[in-house]
Structure 1
Amino acid sequence: MINAQRYLSNTAALRRVGINLLPGEELDAAVELETGLTDELEPSHEELLLTTRRLIRYSTGGHYVDTLSIVLEDVHSVEVKRRQWVFVGLVFIGGGFLLNMLSLFWLAMLISPLLMAVSLSLIGLVFLLTYVGSIRGEVIVTAGSTRLKCRMKPKALDDMVIFLERFYELRLGVPNTSRLQRAQNL
């Protein structure tokens, strides 16, 4: 009963964003780009869907719906990129050193030290917000000349391992396994 309700709910959500499943096609897995694997589709969220025949990405906002569909057999490569924060840390250290040198230069001039302290704290706040706001990764799917890019939060990137395992199982013709269902119920 619950699976029938979930099927109807997911089908209605897909129709709201303009996606109709092909005859014999079933939804196999779904990843919300913010939270990860999900059983319930939301038309208002960005999602990456895996059906038995296609890989579909949709996003909505305001008055538009953006949908891209790729046949599984056409997919040449899938890249999962996680940002390496070691390099970002080096940039912050270099920026701190540069700000320190600028502060020494400003102290030699006739500028109020309080004005300089306020400006340095604001610059530090901008660096911190930039760092925290950009903790995302990226999934890039290449199919012929089409490139599908999805920016994801860390939780969704962690779930991409399970999603990609199922993707390759479908490409090889392996029937549905319970591993995906177990991972979603954790």
Structure 2
Amino acid sequence: MTEADLLYKGNRRNEGRKAGDNHRARSAKGDTIEQRPEEINSRETFGNWEMDSVMGCKGSKAALVVLTERLTRYPVIIRVPDHTMESVVRALDRMERRMGAKFREVFHSITVDNGCEFQDCEGMERSKRARKPRTKIFYCHPYSAYERGSNENMNRIIRRFFPKGTNFDNVSAAEVAEWLANYPRRILGWKTPQTLYDEYMTVAA
């Protein structure tokens, strides 16, 4: 694969970013991105994720919750029945039940925006299996999608499969997640997110 094969080429600028845009429309429900450790900012460690949601068409209640691991760009896509914070928390609960203690090792932190679906910080952080939190949530500034750049890029690719106007009520995201995980990335030295994710999971085992 060469640069000509890339889905998106060239440098992206933070278009629309203006001085003063980082004021918060609503108070963050947890720690903000300013409190995020430098090792997360610099993508030095595995297990730090970005999370967003992709809405369906008008009249479609279902949505996609999209998580992207910052170091490997590994994707997790979960279809939820509606665009609410309760559904996001339940989705994380299901993942934790399936992964067990491994969840805390894989999801050290999750960075989200200030959307209504991510307002239950306590619910997203608390564990269903143990007393200590299962992950740490950090909130971006409003109107600052560039602070979740890997997630935004993932969403753009997802829209190639599910264009705006898609009804997510009967959509399965598993095949899209698999394709994204096995798509070679220039930023990864032409390795796939799946390859790097497996390498880190082997070290953690």
Q: With structure 2 as the length reference, what TM-score do the two structures score?
A: 0.20
Which of the pair is proportionally richer in helix?
Answer: 1
The structure with the largest strand share of the pair is: 1
User: Bigger relative contact order, structure 1 or 2, given CA contacts below 8 A and separation 6+?
Assistant: 2
Question: Larger radius of gyration, structure 1 or 2?
Answer: 1
Q: If the length of structure 1 is used for normalisation, what is the TM-score? A: 0.21
